[in-house]
Amino acid sequence: MSKLSIVIPVYNTYKYIDKCLKSIMNQNIDYEIILVDDGSTDESGKLCDNYQNENIKVIHINNLGVSNARNVGILNSSGKYITFIDSDDYIDNCYKELIDIMDKGYDLVTFGISIDNEEKKLEERSIISTSSTLDLNRHDTIKNIIDIANFNCVIWNKIYRLDIIKENNIFFDKNIYVAEDSLFAVEYALKVNKSYHVNKPYYHYIIHSNSALRVKNINFIKRVETSITAYQKIEELLNFDDELKNLCLVQEAHARLGLSEHYYNFKYENYKELIKNNKKWIKENKKLIYSYASKKEKLRIKLFLFSIKLDCFIVNYRNKHRSN
């Protein structure tokens, strides 16, 4: 049994795969890599085959989306622990440190993220306190995943126990394309006794023109719409705890706001009515949202409620300069 299984879904990322894989292969741990080629139409699949060896397994499947690809990776994993990387990102030399922490009896280890473009670092996220590390119980583990201020809801900055995933049948919802990682992380965290957070930005999330959330078209918007379903499912899971449920409500408000920006920018069919409905939902839940949202998030919501046109102008300007 390998110590760590690393699942990497691959779809048309030929330019980035080498850097991703080399960032793993240079680490001094016992690992297996499961490359799941999700029906790539470029040379990504062939490049994956070139890397195949006793530590790197390559699986070619029809294109059914990243959730299905990760599920295939889980089912073909045999490590004690498991983590996920996107094939256009890379990781620092940190796995030995993180595995040593897991070996002390933790069910989950999370760590920081560096958001970069292809030229430079832009910002660090998931740095959730002034302490270098945090030892967390189940409630605080879930809180740090769903609190939007922490940006700790993503899939790739975590190491999980594979037995917990398989014994509790925790898989990615194949009908959800955005926030599917948040749903997975919360379902897993509900089975956690204790977790550990390292405030170091080990994971490098790369923003580029071909990133999945930057290619804007009708299919993109339909994928983003599924995030609302994801957050509603999480709210149901957390119905036993008002604080956790309401923190997720802030996430849903953020998703509805972002979706409305996409509606407006793309002039999506019936976009005015769709934006109106999202504003109505936020207004109906505003008291709870404002009780748990950060000052920054409240300002963004207020701007959205005041003028979607002005909100989009500011957001579009920021996004343009982040990718340059």
pLDDT per residue over 109-158, tens digit each? Answer: 999 999 987 777 778 888 887 676 789 999 999 999 999 988 899 999 99
- Give the per-residue pLDDT at 209: 62
Q: Are 269 and 240 in contact (CB under 8 A)?
A: no
Q: Kindly list the distances between the CA atom of residue 187 and the CA atoms of 82, 229, 237, 244, 285, in Å, as whole numbers in the listed order.
A: 15, 15, 8, 13, 24
User: Shortest CA distance to 155 belongs to which of 178, 127, 185?
Assistant: 185
pLDDT at 133: 73
pLDDT of residue 214: 46
Higher pLDDT pick, 322 / 90:
90
Please give the pLDDT value at position 322: 59
Per-residue pLDDT tens digits for 310-319? 999 998 887 7
Pick the CATH number of 4-206 from 3.90.550.10, 3.20.20.60, 3.30.565.10, 3.10.129.10: 3.90.550.10
Please state the domain extents for the chain: 4-206, 218-322
Indicate if the pLDDT at residue 278 is higher than 70.
yes
Average pLDDT, the chain: 93
Per-residue confidence band for 77, with pLDDT thresholds at 50, 70 and 90:
very high
Q: Which pLDDT band, with edges at 50, 70 and 90, does 36 fall under?
A: very high
pLDDT in tens, 189-242: 999 999 999 999 999 999 876 554 444 567 889 999 999 999 999 999 999 999
Report pTM: 0.92
